[in-house]
């Protein structure tokens, strides 16, 4: 595998379910990010991790819980989501921080029923 991979690619869940999104980067980068992309809206940065430490949380509701066990892996744990949380969730990585070029994964298309 090369670049940034995400699983699953598609996810349908009920509002009471608990699920997790997974991201893995094979680029040797030290920073990883979660973005939300909704229809007709710009990309929204959700979380920033540098060297496994969370350095930014852009007022994201607590029903989204990130986890970064090492510099190559990033998870987004989901629980009690709302229908308006349906979107494309993108993972990205960069060499050091947000000033570096970001490389995106293919995304997870999430639908909350």
- Among 48, 68, 74, 87, the residue binding another protein under the rule CB under 8 A is 48
Q: Which is nearer to another protein, 39 or 83 (CB)?
A: 39
CB atoms closer than 10 angstroms to residue 102: 18
Phi, psi for 84 (deg, rounded to 5): -70, -5
Kindly state whether residue 67 participates in binding another protein, applying the rule CB under 8 A. no
Kindly state whether residue 60 participates in binding another protein, applying the rule CB under 8 A. no
CB of 71 to another protein, least distance (A): 18
């Amino acid at each position: 595998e090369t670049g940034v991979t995400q699983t699953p690619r598609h996810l349908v869940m009920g509002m009471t379910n608990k699920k997790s999104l997974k991201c893995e980067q094979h680029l040797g980068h030290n920073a990883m990010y979660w973005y939300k992309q909704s229809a007709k809206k710009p990309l929204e940065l959700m979380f920033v991790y540098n060297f496994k430490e969370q350095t930014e949380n852009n007022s994201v509701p607590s029903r989204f819980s990130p986890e970064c066990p090492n510099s190559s892996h990033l998870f987004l744990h989901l629980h009690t989501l709302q229908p308006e949380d349906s979107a494309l969730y993108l993972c990205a990585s960069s060499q050091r921080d947000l000033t570096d070029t970001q490389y995106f994964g293919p995304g997870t298309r999430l639908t909350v029923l």
